């Protein structure tokens, strides 16, 4: 156990479940599309916030939530409940709609979800093309992704709860500008970002749409950390940390724990989820990774650490 700000974070194995991607990849891919559908409603109806913070979902006691979304003189909220396996659309009226979560295609989920919104007199249009995925299929045509393993959905939530709390402890140690701890449905990861306060160089991404998105996300210098449940080049869930722009020498820095490594092609440090959950203290292992990777980037980029960090921040120790 570690304690910070009167909050105890459990190192119990039940709080750090195994998530081998091979066991739930189809479920993960389906959930990714479902969260994009819900997230795009939040994107369409909420005021734009710097770095796209308004579009993210948030971990709650049962799964993931949009938090409150304004709609005229009403408000509503959409929640993925991974304990009773349902999607709940709650409004400030007595009206509520519930959609069971189970094996079903993205197309079917999209149709029922949009119909539920209309039944609640919430009329919203979203772009039906998924983002940040290869070989994207429009939501209303996607009958490829149709899996839902309830046990792994629950494990996904349990992992998110533990990681969310550790990330919040890490965030509390920084008095400079920092993002909330939030879940980005585009990249399907939980993230927390620290800012130096200095503007970053303009982006030069070849795709003009991507350039616009990335310029907003990285308008200022950042060191960003997070957790992916596994995808693409990562065959399993992993913690990550990167600096943007990346200071010279960053990949060569020694970070903790020893099992962490720099993935050259991805341009970031990685620490596999399995190495964390089997450590003597998963919570301390994650904090060591977050702190040591941050220190590596902040020192090389000459951040004003005295002004940005709270005093007496614990040094990263061996895991």
Q: 103 and 210 in one domain?
A: no
pLDDT of residue 162: 98
Task: Identify the bridge partners of residue 81 per DSSP, sorted by sequence position.
Answer: 63, 86
Q: Collapse the DSSP code of 272 into the 3-class scheme (helix H, G, I; strand E, B; otherwise coil) and give the result.
A: strand
**Same domain assignment for residues 132 and 248:** no
Answer whether residue 226 is part of any domain: yes
| Number of separate domains in the chain | 2
Residues 120, 186, single domain; the answer is: no
Which residues span the domain enclosing 298?
Answer: 158-308
Residues in the chain with pLDDT values less than 50 = 1-6, 315, 318-319
Q: What is the pLDDT of residue 209?
A: 66
* Strands ordered across the beta sheet of 238-244: 182-184, 189-199, 220-228, 238-244, 268-272, 261-263
Q: What is the pLDDT of residue 1?
A: 37
So what's the pLDDT on residue 2?
Answer: 40
Q: What is the pLDDT of residues 124-174, one digit of tens each?
A: 999 999 998 999 999 999 999 999 999 999 999 999 999 999 999 999 999
The answer on 304 and 162 residing in a single domain is yes
Residues 82 and 211 in one domain: no
Q: Under 8 Å CB-to-CB from 109, ≥6 apart: which residues?
A: 33, 34, 37, 99
| Same-domain status, 60 and 177 | no
Tell me if 11 is assigned to some domain: no
Say yes or no: 168 and 260 in one domain.
yes
């Amino acid at each position: 156990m570690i304690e910070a700000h009167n909050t105890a974070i459990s190192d119990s194995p039940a709080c750090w479940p195994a998530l081998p991607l091979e066991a739930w990849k189809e479920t993960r891919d389906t959930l990714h599309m479902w969260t994009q559908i819900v997230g795009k409603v939040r994107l369409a109806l909420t005021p734009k916030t710097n770095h796209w913070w308004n579009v993210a979902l948030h971990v709650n006691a049962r799964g993931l939530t949009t938090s409150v979304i304004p709609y005229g003189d009403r408000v509503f909220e959409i929640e993925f409940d991974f304990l009773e396996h349902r999607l709940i659309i709650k409004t400030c009226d007595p009206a509520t709609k519930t959609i069971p979560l189970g094996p079903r295609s993205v197309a079917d989920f999209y149709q029922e979800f949009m119909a539920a919104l209309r039944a609640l007199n919430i009329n919203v249009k979203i772009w039906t093309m998924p983002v940040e995925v290869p070989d994207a299929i429009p939501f209303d045509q996607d009958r490829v992704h149709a899996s839902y393993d309830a046990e792994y959905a629950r494990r996904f939530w349990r992992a998110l709860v533990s990681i969310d709390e550790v990330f919040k402890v890490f965030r509390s140690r920084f008095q400079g500008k920092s993002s909330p701890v939030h879940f980005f449905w585009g990249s399907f990861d939980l993230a927390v970002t620290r800012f130096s306060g200095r503007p970053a160089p303009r982006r030069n991404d070849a795709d003009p749409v991507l350039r616009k998105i990335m310029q907003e996300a990285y308008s200022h210098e950042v060191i960003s950390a997070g957790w992916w449940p596994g995808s693409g080049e990562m065959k399993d869930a992993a913690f990550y940390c990167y600096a943007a722009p990346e200071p010279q020498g960053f990949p060569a820095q020694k970070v903790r724990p020893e099992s962490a490594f720099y993935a050259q092609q991805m341009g970031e440090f990685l620490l596999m989820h399995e190495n964390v959950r089997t450590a003597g203290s998963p919570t301390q292992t994650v904090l060591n990774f977050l702190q040591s990777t941050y220190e590596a980037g902040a020192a090389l980029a000459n951040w004003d650490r005295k002004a940005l960090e709270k005093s007496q921040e614990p040094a990263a120790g061996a895991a």
